[in-house]
Structure formats: structure tokens, C-alpha cells
Amino acid sequence: MLSRNTGLFVFFVALSALWPLSTARADQPFQRFLPLLIDLNGWQGKKPEGMSMQMSDTNMTTATRDYERGSAQVHASVLIGQGATGAIPPIQGGMNLQTSEGHVISATMHGMPVLKNYNIPEKSGSLIVSLSKDALFSVTFEGITEDEALALAEKFDWKALQVAAQIK
């Protein structure tokens, strides 16, 4: 015969098995970014993924999506937390480095500070957008020109990413 406590335990285990998993995962902070990692026309996009970590002294959230077109690749990601905080100063610092191999340039696009990096021989680089003091959106790429990469990055809704990053 089962004790009352064992019976309650079995009841709650059975109830949790019936509870929809999507409801439990919907509470994760990274979930709000996944719909904003859109399909890119002409590119094969993998499933968007995310991770949220909360600890006593720090929080971190990431959401990512990879895209392929032949040998070309694009990686879009959102980062919130300490990792982003450390990356923001170079974006806002007015960096301007140009060589025959490429460049690293801070600028403003759509009213937001950005850092553009491009390696000419490798046809690779990144665009990092400062969404807030502790949030950024980045697009890294290889196998395409900088102009094409910037055009792809602009297809994402930066303002919506910025709003989603402010939700605590």
C-alpha cells in the first residue's frame, strides 16, 4: 500500500508529465529573441537556439541562428549580460583602423552604434550593434562581400531586438 506522501508524489509526477513543455520553456528570456532571428531569402537557416543563465551575481542570455548558402555562412546572435558589457566600449570608442587587408570601423547605423570589421582576402567579418549598455546584436559572416553582409544584417529588426533586450 502506498503512503499518502508517495501517492502525492506520484500524482505530481504524472501531472508534470502532462504539462506542456512549451509553456515551461516560454518563460526563458532567450525565447523572446527567437522569432526576431528571421529567415533570410536565398539562405538556408538552421533552427534558432538560445540559452539563459541566472546566477546570484550575473545573468546572461544568448540567442543565435546560423545560415548557409553554398560555402557562404552567416551567424546572427544576440548577447545580453556581462559578455556584452565588455564588448560595448570598443563600439562606442570611435575606433578606425584600416589596412590593405581590411578594416575595423566604429560608426552609427539606424541611430545605433556599430562596429564593422572586414577581412578582404578572406571575405569575412562582422557587424556588432550596440542595443544597450549590456546588450548587442552581431552578424558574423564569411564567403560574402561586406556590402552583402550589411544588407543582410539590415533585414533584422534592430529596434525590436533593442526593445526585447530591455525586458527584464
Tens digits of per-residue pLDDT, 97-111?
Answer: 999 999 999 999 999
Indicate whether 109 belongs to any domain. Answer: yes
Task: Identify the helix (H) or strand (E) that includes residue 5.
Answer: helix 4-18
Please report which confidence band the pLDDT of residue 27 belongs to, taking 50, 70 and 90 as the band edges. low
First to last CA, the chain: 48
Is the pLDDT score of 20 beyond 60?
A: no
Indicate whether 65 belongs to any domain. Answer: yes
3: exposed, middle or buried (Cβ count in 10 Å: 0-12, 13-18, 19+): exposed
- Polymer length of the chain: 168
| Cα Rg of the chain, angstroms | 21
The mean pLDDT value for 81-110 works out to: 88
Task: Identify the helix (H) or strand (E) that includes residue 54.
Answer: strand 49-54
Indicate whether 5 belongs to any domain. Answer: no
Total domains in the fold of the chain: 1
**Mean pLDDT across the chain:** 85
pLDDT (0 to 100) of residue 162? 95
Indicate whether 9 belongs to any domain. Answer: no
Indicate whether 11 belongs to any domain. Answer: no
Indicate whether 23 belongs to any domain. Answer: no
pTM reported for the whole predicted model: 0.80
The mean pLDDT value for 20-26 works out to: 42
Indicate whether 97 belongs to any domain. Answer: yes
Indicate whether 160 belongs to any domain. Answer: yes
In sequence order, what DSSP letters do the residues of 9-48 get, joined into one string? HHHHHHHHHHS-HHHHHTTSGGGGTGGGS---TTSEEPPP
Question: Domain of 42?
Answer: 28-166
